[in-house]
Amino acid sequence: MTAPLEIDPQTEPETLVFDDDGRTPNSRHPVLVYRGLQDKADDDAAERFEATFAACDWPPQWRDGVFAYHHFHSNAHEALAVYAGEAELVLGGEYGRPVRLAAGDVVILPAGTGHCRVSAGADFALTAAYPTGHGDWDLCRPGETDPERARERIAAVPTPSQDPITGADGALIRLWTD
């Protein structure tokens, strides 16, 4: 079994805040971006991220990329760990902000946060995890999802018990607790 990454709980992620644009609700919580958590991409990189997620009560659920259309999840928070390649995503909806991610980076998206892949290298790959109890995530698209109903679902999503990277004492707990 692969061991989780050993990351200091005091490690501070970048934070990004996006307003509701009327089509993509986004969140009152900031997006968290941890950079360079693994210094090499190898065959065990995905397993190390997945072991870290699992140890923090965010069971990993799939490996792949990010859809090339704007979408969000109204009933679950999502953690994405890039284990190979790099990509540019737009976070925050159609009027959001481009963010470049590379192998070793993790982005934690609070429920309602828009995301879309704009470009990616041929080797881009990530693994995704959701907090325990959020396994049945939905797929919402701006213009196809009733924003008011989505806002109601987002408001009902509880704050996770742990940061998916740094655990119970991590930044998510401090930054997402109202």
Domain residue ranges of the chain, discontinuous segments joined by +:
14-162
Side by side, which strands form the sheet with 60-64? Answer: 14-16, 31-34, 106-109, 78-84, 125-129, 60-64
Q: Read off φ and ψ for residue 45, nearest 5 degrees.
A: -60, -45
pLDDT at 40 (0 to 100): 65
Fold of the domain spanning 14-162? Jelly Rolls (2.60.120)
Regions in the chain scoring below 70 on pLDDT: 1, 40-43, 134-135, 178
